[in-house]
């Protein structure tokens, strides 16, 4: 299935999120980093939400993270998702220490676990999805960084 | 001299699954009932606070035109399900400060299930841009993540959370305005159809049409036993900052001041009306407001019963889980029920001991969770 065959709801492209959406079209996850306090953050904003610095720069994230929690959505809001239920919706803690809401695909829903490591989809598959989307990472599972934050 | 301000009356509209009535019609029904309960005349009301997701393109001032009111104070709720409790706090301060003499605090919507889904896909820019394109399932998908995290972190079990839904349903059976009144057993709760695993049907609220209202003014005009004093109230928005699915909310920041101001602690409450969009959020409020220690609410739930006549009366009219969630009105249903109990007007579900209680609000789902929290402590004026 191609992007054109699905009518997923799309983000509104604006001056704050254009680099994120352009990056994802190339299969990359870009994050904003504050040049003053050094923190990464998501979602896109015109200033750093931590210190209000306007010196924020986009940079490429590793695209790797760990599932902190997840739900299996059987009743998605929008009809475009109806033939893909359950949607695996996850809180992914990125390696950059940013909490990211994302779909996880290419996985049996019943096999998803807290602590599972995930990685960005390949650029070929990425084109189908409106936002950065993950799949279980290949190779041995990492078990660190799964404790609850805060 | 500080005016002794409180709640003089309350009212509700009829709750229905869907309606052809206008939003103004449903809001007007609750407003008229509150006015009649308060003994205040319509032309004495000079303040209006309204919380309603469907109100735009209208607002508090154009609602005043619809209702033929002239106002010296107007307030539009912005905190979703936490809006009405915040509105009440602000209305009290407005009367104390002399900006108004009597305020109508009003909340409601005319939703159904489809309307609720449309609302959630456009709730705010962050959710529209970074939630909806993921097929996030609205609030259900997000709160399922919170519940799973609570279960994993603290060992909380569905059988424990189910006691909230079951207790509230028993109260709803004594409330003719509740939409869901069939008896519910633990089996029904545990085996209901999956909505967003681990949430099942009876963890979720039924979007519906309805409205709630109270009148705020000087307590010296209320008859004996009919006035309700607000001993303390606080609100907090966007806390904790930057977390996606936190297991705590703004209540933990103000609870000490809340209880200190009131002069009473959690153990002195005769009932709790907590914001019940999901049992897991009721559980988290019970922790943050110190009815149970953080992480130990499961044990607390297992040790109590939650119907109006149970060991811990909770959402004694059935709450949103059984009455239905009338949009922003869901943030006020606990307030009107508290006032009803404190005035001893709850008939078939009247608590024997109803001197004071706590009402909490929660809402405005942002990127992952409800951003706003509030709580008030109310006391019957003898």
Residues in A closer than 8 angstroms to B151, CB to CB, are none
A16 in contact with B, Cβ within 8 Å = no
DSSP 3-state assignment of B352? coil
**Cα dihedral B111→B117→B120→B125 (10° resolution):** -120
Q: Which tokens hold the place of B241?
A: 């900052």
Q: State the DSSP string of B182-226.
A: S---HHHHHHSPEEEETEEGGGS--B-EEEEEEEEEEGGGSPTTT
More confident residue, B116 or A10: A10
- Give all domains of chain B, ordered by start, each with its CATH number: 5-112+209-227 (3.40.47.10), 137-205+230-380 (3.40.47.10)
Whether B91 contacts B76, CB under 8 Å: no
Whether B310 contacts B304, CB under 8 Å: yes
Residue of A75, A101, A150 with shortest CB distance to B131? A101
What's this model's pTM, rounded to 2 decimal places?
A: 0.95
pLDDT of res. B120: 77
pLDDT of res. B1: 55
Chain B interface disruption, residue of A20, A69, A98, most B CBs within 10 A: A69
B201 in contact with A, Cβ within 8 Å = no
**CA–CA distances in Å: residue B84 to residues A126, B18, B75, B80, B355:** 43, 22, 11, 8, 22
Chain A interface disruption, residue of B122, B134, B245, B249, most A CBs within 10 A: B134
B125 in contact with A, Cβ within 8 Å = yes
Q: Which H/E stretch holds residue B234? A: strand B228-237
Q: Which tokens hold the place of B38?
A: 């308060």
DSSP conformation class of A79? G
Residues in B closer than 8 angstroms to A150, CB to CB, are 240, 243, 246
Region A42-62: what's the mean pLDDT?
A: 97
Q: Which tokens hold the place of A65?
A: 């993270």
Give residue-wise pLDDT tens across range A74-91. Answer: 999 889 999 999 999 999
Cis peptide before B193 (omega within 30 of 0): no
Q: Rounded to 5 degrees, what are φ and ψ at B168?
A: -65, -35
Residue of A74, A101, A114 with shortest CB distance to B134? A101
Nearest to B30 by CA among B348, B326, B249, B258: B326
Region B126-132: what's the mean pLDDT?
A: 95
Which of B136-140, B178-182, B202-206, B375-379 is predicted least confidently?
B136-140
Region B31-53: what's the mean pLDDT?
A: 98
Whether B192 contacts B161, CB under 8 Å: no
Sorting pLDDT into bands at 50, 70 and 90, what band is B153? very high
Which of A46-50, A140-144, B39-43, B97-101 is predicted least confidently?
A140-144
| Bridging pattern class, strands B370-380 and B356-365 | antiparallel
Q: Rounded to 5 degrees, what are φ and ψ at A61?
A: -85, 165
Q: Which H/E stretch holds residue B336? A: helix B333-342
Place of tokens 């996606």: B244
**CA–CA distances in Å: residue B28 to residues A129, B14, B15, B21, B330:** 45, 11, 13, 11, 17
CA dist., res. B337 & res. B12, Å (int): 10
Residue of A nearest to B121 (CA): A77
Nearest to B55 by CA among B252, B339, B328: B328
Residue of A nearest to B114 (CA): A77
| Interaxial angle between packed helices B279-288 and B251-262, expressed in degrees from 0 to 180 and rounded to the nearest 10 | 60
A19 in contact with B, Cβ within 8 Å = no
As a three-state string, the secondary structure of B1-55 is CCCCEEEEEEEECCCECCCCCCHHHHHHHHHHHHHHHHCCCHHHCCEEEEECCCC
Give residue-wise pLDDT tens across range B252-264. Answer: 999 999 999 999 9
A101 in contact with B, Cβ within 8 Å = yes
Whether A24 contacts A81, CB under 8 Å: no
Give residue-wise pLDDT tens across range B308-348. Answer: 999 999 999 999 999 999 999 999 999 999 999 999 999 99
Residues in B closer than 8 angstroms to A133, CB to CB, are 134
Residue of B133, B195, B243 with shortest CB distance to A11? B133
Q: What is the per-residue burial (b if ≥16 Cβ within 10 Å, else e) of A50-70? A: eeeeeebeeeebebbbbbbbb
**Cα dihedral B307→B310→B316→B320 (10° resolution):** -30
Q: Rounded to 5 degrees, what are φ and ψ at B232?
A: -165, 155
DSSP conformation class of A17? T
Residues in A closer than 8 angstroms to B196, CB to CB, are 71-75, 89
Chain B interface disruption, residue of A49, A73, A97, most B CBs within 10 A: A73
Chains A–B, number of C-beta pairs less than 8 Å apart? 141
Q: What is the ipTM of this complex?
A: 0.94
pLDDT at A145 over 80: no
| Bridging pattern class, strands A117-120 and A134-136 | antiparallel
Burial of B223 per CB tally in 10 Å (0-12, 13-18, 19+): exposed
pLDDT at B361 over 70: yes
Give the mean pLDDT of chain A: 91
B359 Cβ neighbours under 8 A, 6+ residues apart? B85, B272, B273, B274, B334, B335, B338, B375, B376, B377, B378
- Give percent of chain B with pLDDT exceeding 70: 100
CA dist., res. B203 & res. B370, Å (int): 16
């Amino acid at each position: 299935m191609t992007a054109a065959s699905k009518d997923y709801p799309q983000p509104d492209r604006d001056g704050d999120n254009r680099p994120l959406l352009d990056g994802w079209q190339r299969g990359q996850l870009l994050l904003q980093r504050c040049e003053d306090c050094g923190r990464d953050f998501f979602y896109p904003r015109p200033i750093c939400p931590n210190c209000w610095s306007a010196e924020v720069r986009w940079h490429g994230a590793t695209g790797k993270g760990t599932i902190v929690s997840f739900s299996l959505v059987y009743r998605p809001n929008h009809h475009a998702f109806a033939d893909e239920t359950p949607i695996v919706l996850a809180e992914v803690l990125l390696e950059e220490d940013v909490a990211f809401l994302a779909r996880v695909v290419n996985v049996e829903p019943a096999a998803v676990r807290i602590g599972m490591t995930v990685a960005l989809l390949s650029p070929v598959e990425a084109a189908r999805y409106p936002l950065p989307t993950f799949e279980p990472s290949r190779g041995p599972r990492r078990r660190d960084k799964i404790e609850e934050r805060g | 001299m500080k005016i002794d301000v409180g709640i003089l009356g309350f009212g509700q509209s009829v709750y229905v699954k869907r309606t052809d009535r206008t939003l103004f019609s449903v809001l007007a029904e609750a407003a008229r009932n509150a006015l009649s309960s308060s003994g205040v005349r319509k032309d004495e009301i000079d303040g209006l606070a309204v919380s309603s997701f469907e109100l735009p393109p209208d607002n508090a001032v154009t609602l005043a035109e619809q209702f033929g009111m002239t106002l010296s104070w107007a307030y539009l709720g912005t905190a979703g399900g936490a809006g009405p409790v915040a509105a009440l706090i602000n209305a009290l301060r407005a009367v104390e400060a002399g900006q108004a003499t009597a305020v109508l605090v009003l909340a409601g919507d005319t939703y159904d299930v489809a309307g609720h889904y449309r609302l959630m896909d456009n709730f705010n820019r962050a959710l529209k841009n970074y939630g909806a394109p993921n097929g996030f399932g609205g609030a259900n998908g997000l709160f399922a993540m919170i519940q799973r995290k609570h279960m994993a972190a603290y060992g909380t079990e569905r059988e424990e959370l189910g006691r909230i839904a079951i207790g509230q349903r028993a109260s709803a059976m004594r409330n003719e305005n509740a939409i869901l009144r069939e008896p519910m057993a633990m089996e029904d709760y545990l085996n209901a159809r999956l909505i967003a695993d681990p949430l099942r049907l009876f963890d979720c609220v039924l979007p519906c049409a309805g409205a709630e209202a109270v009148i705020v003014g000087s307590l010296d005009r209320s008859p004996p036993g009919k006035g309700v004093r607000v001993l303390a109230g606080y609100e907090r928005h966007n806390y904790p900052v930057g977390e996606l699915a936190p297991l705590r909310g703004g209540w933990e920041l103000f609870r000490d001041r809340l209880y200190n101001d009131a002069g009473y602690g959690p153990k002195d409450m005769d009932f709790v009306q907590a914001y019940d969009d999901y049992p897991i959020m009721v559980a988290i409020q019970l922790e943050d407001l110190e009815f149970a220690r953080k992480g130990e609410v499961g044990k607390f739930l297992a040790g109590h019963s939650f119907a109006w006549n149970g060991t811990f009366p909770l959402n004694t009219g059935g709450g949103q889980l059984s009455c239905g969630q009338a949009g922003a009105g869901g943030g006020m249903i606990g307030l009107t029920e508290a006032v009803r109990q404190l005035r001893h007007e709850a008939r078939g579900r009247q608590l024997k001991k109803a001197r004071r209680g706590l009402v909490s609000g929660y809402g405005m789902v942002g990127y992952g969770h409800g951003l706003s929290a509030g709580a008030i402590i109310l006391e019957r004026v003898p």
